[in-house]
Amino acid sequence: MDPGRNQATLPMTASRKARIDPQVVAFARRTATMSASEVRALFAVASRPDVVSLAGGMPFVQALPMEDVAATVREVVEERGAEALQYGGGMGHPDLRRRLCALMAEEGVSASPREVVVTDGAQQGLDLVAKVLLDPGDEVVVEEPTYVGAISAFGAYEPRFVQVPMDGEGLVVDELEAAFRRGVRPKFVYVVPNFHNPAGVTLSLRRREALVALCREAAVPIVEDNPYGMLRFDGEPLPCLRSLDPGNVIYLGTLSKVFAPGIRIGWVLAGAPVLDHVLLAKEAANLCSSSLTQLVAEAYLGGDRWRRNLGALVDVYRGRRDAMLAALREGFPPGARWTEPRGGFYVWVTLPDGLDAAALLPAAVERRVAYVPGTAFYPDGRGRDRMRLSFSYPPEEEIREGVSRLAALLRDELARGGGPAQ
Amino acid sequence: MDPGRNQATLPMTASRKARIDPQVVAFARRTATMSASEVRALFAVASRPDVVSLAGGMPFVQALPMEDVAATVREVVEERGAEALQYGGGMGHPDLRRRLCALMAEEGVSASPREVVVTDGAQQGLDLVAKVLLDPGDEVVVEEPTYVGAISAFGAYEPRFVQVPMDGEGLVVDELEAAFRRGVRPKFVYVVPNFHNPAGVTLSLRRREALVALCREAAVPIVEDNPYGMLRFDGEPLPCLRSLDPGNVIYLGTLSKVFAPGIRIGWVLAGAPVLDHVLLAKEAANLCSSSLTQLVAEAYLGGDRWRRNLGALVDVYRGRRDAMLAALREGFPPGARWTEPRGGFYVWVTLPDGLDAAALLPAAVERRVAYVPGTAFYPDGRGRDRMRLSFSYPPEEEIREGVSRLAALLRDELARGGGPAQ
């Protein structure tokens, strides 16, 4: 590896007085693929109060009844303190795993607590599944575009990414089949079937059936990541891939959108050989998830309030999606296209020819609006003509204002010929 | 790899109906080193109420004032709920990082919040440091014996372990120097200088000075893991390696013993090039630590109650250590030797010739006492004549009873010639 080159892509976080010298200490080869995500680079910008951030994918946790949650956490410590403050087993608390199975049943997924390992958000699920399956040079199929956190989680294990295109029905399964025919033999196929991040599309029923049949035939496991499935605004739910083929699908869930990301609770649902390895990798990675936040999640999922709160949140998100789509239709220039999500957090925009979302970002921030350039969602630098807009966090009027600022920028750019923004 | 062989070492956790077939799906090569730790195998046994467990290393969290902690978590959610339930930055909450620096200052370590990345316990620190430094085949020096969790965390990155012996003064630095002279060139040297797990010994001042000088000269970074430093029962604190040579020491801390393991808060303190990589690896692994438990930790470390509570805990642990040492002196057979820790959780026992702690464990459990066989603390199966006894969790009378049961077993075994126990 070339530590000098690698170093150049890294942010400055700590004292440069330090003596451990990148010219002397060779970092592991896997670090060559690690670089600060464009999402992180936007954190500082997006937090400026005058900037409308359509960048981050933060749930609107302010809608939760804080006094109720506060009472829950107090009760957990008062009544189960010795357990909540202690180490727990690596698989996660049995009571929580039972609740997670009940939650999955709401989406038609049948699961037993002994098939579940609790993780620190679904992100840790991505990391652990990759850790137990990927050797350097192995192929892994992801959607085009794909979740930025999957690129970083998988990337640490040095696979070769094979991106398969999506359209309005989600992953184009014929293209996957063509890839298999070309000799692509991935360790797994990673998909976000519901309200895709960043693409905003949902895998259709016939594509779901075709995908599981193709992968079963090819003996290639599917990793199904379903953070947004319960955030549906309209239309009927579609079956999870896991319920279509439990034997060949590793399912990743999270409470980040159903409850709150600050508790860092996700899970892996898988059959024995995979789950056994994931459990060992989990213990090696951080022993166990927080007993406190596991018991808080368990208590929160008891009764029916989670359902009420989630229903209220979905109403909020639906209104924000509508506001964003209306603003896009009203203001975005001809030639721009975007997806119309029926749930989730994201709209995926394709810019008119000649506009470059990565190059335009500084100008956008100058106009007090932020987004994530499409390049974040490709491992190879493509996607410059795309941008991800999130409607989950800002109120509707800010969404309208933000989209309007962005629309003005795009129109101005097109008027001056569409070159780079600076 | 040989998935069949690997499979054989794995516990049964999930349905065997699953179709993903270990004969078809090749797990990553790194999983060949993963096996259920002997500590986990003991979990079920140790939780039987009639068994005195001297096995687990659980802090005695029951000593914490639960009502006070419950009030703290409630306040955090009521007053900072939108923050506590949301995603946070990958480095960790700035307020918590400031508190952690103040805590390190108590042990003489000078640190700035921008040199700290919050992790999910020190275990995640071990994982991330190994992840950014170790390529397959790299050498890593650990103590002999070493922390079982370090073997599993580092092992996932397929290094070659080089164990360097310890004596009553901790790591024998002359032996490390001899290893360097033999051509050992490790990526780092991993040490637990205070109240070692499992060895119970503390690195002496002259050894500390010799170690940092040797490693600085050899340009080999030290990874200093200090979970127990503030749990000193008697004697004067010794300087941390980090404070002796900030430029060449990566420091791992944790609140698991100072506050509670159930919140999963640890941290990495390091200079820029290492910390930058650790941060990227952290984000890839699980995005960020729980905002809720970070803010709870931040609130708990405010004021002076943490110090009072810790002082009370240290008194409890001191009494338990004394009870264990007295019981060992009273009951253990001639030929047995053990360390006399001045802090921490563990006594390390060397059995009389011919006794095998791994083979004896089932007989011990039959006599209603559990421990961890020494083999857990060596990557290569050595340590059968050793056992780790923990005094952190059971009350003094149970410790006396447990050691007495164990003493009777050992004496009976010696009387019948000391062969395997079954």
The one-digit pLDDT tens for each residue of chain A (422 residues) are: 333 333 333 333 333 344 676 556 789 988 887 776 555 666 566 668 899 999 989 999 999 999 999 999 999 999 999 999 999 999 999 999 999 999 999 999 999 999 999 999 999 999 999 999 999 999 999 999 999 999 999 999 999 999 999 999 999 999 999 999 999 999 999 999 999 999 999 999 999 999 999 999 999 999 999 999 999 999 999 999 999 999 999 999 999 999 999 999 999 999 999 999 999 999 999 999 999 999 999 999 998 999 999 999 999 999 999 999 999 999 999 999 999 999 999 999 999 999 999 999 999 999 999 999 999 999 999 999 999 999 999 999 999 999 999 999 999 999 998 654 44
Q: What is the mean pLDDT of residues B340-353?
A: 98
Alpha carbon distances (Å) from A111 to A115, A197, A229, B362 = 7, 25, 16, 34
CA A174 to chain centre: 24
Q: How far apart are CA B270 and CA B272, in angstroms?
A: 7
Alpha carbon distances (Å) from A170 to A112, A204, A253 = 29, 7, 19
Assign B303 a pLDDT band (cuts: 50, 70, 90): confident
Q: Alpha-carbon Rg of chain A, whole angstroms?
A: 22
B40 vs A349, higher pLDDT:
A349
Q: Are B420 and B361 in contact (CB under 8 A)?
A: no
Residue with tokens 């200079």: B271
Kindly list the residues from chain A whose CB atom is less than 8 angstroms away from the CB atom of residue B25.
133, 187, 219, 221, 273-274
- DSSP SS3 for B301: helix
Q: How far apart are CA A238 and CA A215, in angstroms?
A: 19
Residue B299 has pLDDT above 60, yes or no: yes
Residue spans of alpha helices (H) in B333-389:
357-366
- Nearest Cα of chain A lies from the Cα of B330 at a distance, in angstroms, of 32
Q: Which of residues 152-191 of B touch A (CB under 8 A)?
A: 152-153, 155-157, 187
B206's tokens: 């002259």
Q: Are A20 and A44 in contact (CB under 8 A)?
A: no
Q: SS3 for B8-25, per residue?
A: HCCCCCCCCCCCCCCCCC
Q: Are A174 and A56 in contact (CB under 8 A)?
A: no
Determine contact: A20 vs chain B, CB below 8 A: yes
**pLDDT value of residue A42:** 60
- DSSP SS3 for A244: helix
DSSP H or E run through B83: helix B66-84
Residue B22 has pLDDT above 60, yes or no: no
Kindly list the residues from chain A whose CB atom is less than 8 angstroms away from the CB atom of residue B71.
74
Residue B293 has pLDDT above 80, yes or no: yes
Surface-to-core class of residue B8, CB atoms within 10 Å of its CB (0-12 exposed, 13-18 middle, 19+ buried): exposed
- DSSP SS3 for A224: strand
Asked if the bond preceding A198 is cis, omega within 30° of 0, the reply is yes
Kindly list the residues from chain B whose CB atom is less than 8 angstroms away from the CB atom of residue A80.
none
Q: Alpha-carbon Rg of chain B, whole angstroms?
A: 22
Of the candidates A84, A90, A153, the beta carbon closest to that of B262 is on: A84
CA A294 to chain centre: 21
**pLDDT value of residue B49:** 85
Residue B410 has pLDDT above 80, yes or no: yes
Angle at B170 between CA B167 and CA B175, to 5 degrees: 70
Is there a contact between A15 and B272 if contact means CB atoms under 8 Å apart?
A: yes
DSSP H or E run through A330: helix A305-331
Determine contact: B392 vs chain A, CB below 8 A: no
Between A and B, how many residue pairs show a Cβ–Cβ distance under 8 A? Answer: 368
Kindly list the residues from chain A whose CB atom is less than 8 angstroms away from the CB atom of residue B197.
none
**pLDDT value of residue A5:** 31
The 10 Å Cβ neighbour count of residue A397 is: 10
Is there a contact between A64 and B85 if contact means CB atoms under 8 Å apart?
A: yes
Query: Could you tell me if residue A11 is left (phi over 0), alpha (psi between -120 and 50 degrees) or otherwise beta?
Result: beta
Assign B417 a pLDDT band (cuts: 50, 70, 90): confident
**pLDDT value of residue A34:** 79
Alpha carbon distances (Å) from A281 to A140, A284, B30, B139, B162 = 19, 5, 10, 21, 22
Q: Are A230 and A257 in contact (CB under 8 A)?
A: yes
- DSSP string across A116-156: EEEESHHHHHHHHHHHHHPPTT-EEEEEES--HHHHHHHHT
Residue spans of alpha helices (H) in B258-336:
272-286, 291-301, 305-331
Q: How far apart are CA B177 and CA B218, in angstroms?
A: 9
Determine contact: A66 vs chain B, CB below 8 A: yes
Is there a contact between B280 and A152 if contact means CB atoms under 8 Å apart?
A: yes
Is there a contact between B31 and A280 if contact means CB atoms under 8 Å apart?
A: yes
* Listed residue (B171, B169, B305) closest to B225, CA to CA: B171
Q: Which of residues 90-119 of B touch A (CB under 8 A)?
A: 90-91, 112, 114-115, 119
Q: Are A283 and A90 in contact (CB under 8 A)?
A: yes
Strand-strand pairing, A386-390 and A346-350 = antiparallel
Query: In terms of CA atoms, which chain B residue is nearest residue A154?
Result: B284
**pLDDT value of residue A35:** 74
Q: Which of B276, B278, B282 to mutate to test the interface with A (most CBs of A within 10 A)?
A: B276
**pLDDT value of residue A420:** 47
ipTM score assigned to the predicted complex: 0.92
Is there a contact between A248 and B20 if contact means CB atoms under 8 Å apart?
A: yes
Residue B41 has pLDDT above 90, yes or no: no
DSSP H or E run through A3: helix A3-8
List the beta strands (DSSP E) in B198-308: 222-225, 249-254, 266-269
Of the candidates A7, A10, A279, the beta carbon closest to that of B13 is on: A279
- Nearest Cα of chain A lies from the Cα of B281 at a distance, in angstroms, of 8
Q: How far apart are CA B377 and CA B23, in angstroms?
A: 31
Q: How far apart are CA B85 and CA B82, in angstroms?
A: 6
Beta bridge partners of B170: B167
B75's tokens: 């306040």
Tens-digit pLDDT profile for residues B230-276: 999 999 999 999 999 999 999 999 999 999 999 999 999 999 999 99
Is there a contact between A28 and B83 if contact means CB atoms under 8 Å apart?
A: no
**pLDDT value of residue A2:** 33
**pLDDT value of residue A33:** 77
Q: Are B34 and A229 in contact (CB under 8 A)?
A: no
* Listed residue (B174, B239, B149) closest to B203, CA to CA: B239
Q: Which of residues 192-211 of B touch A (CB under 8 A)?
A: none
Mean pLDDT score of chain B, rounded to an integer? Answer: 92
Of the candidates A127, A281, A289, the beta carbon closest to that of B34 is on: A281
Beta bridge partners of B348: B388
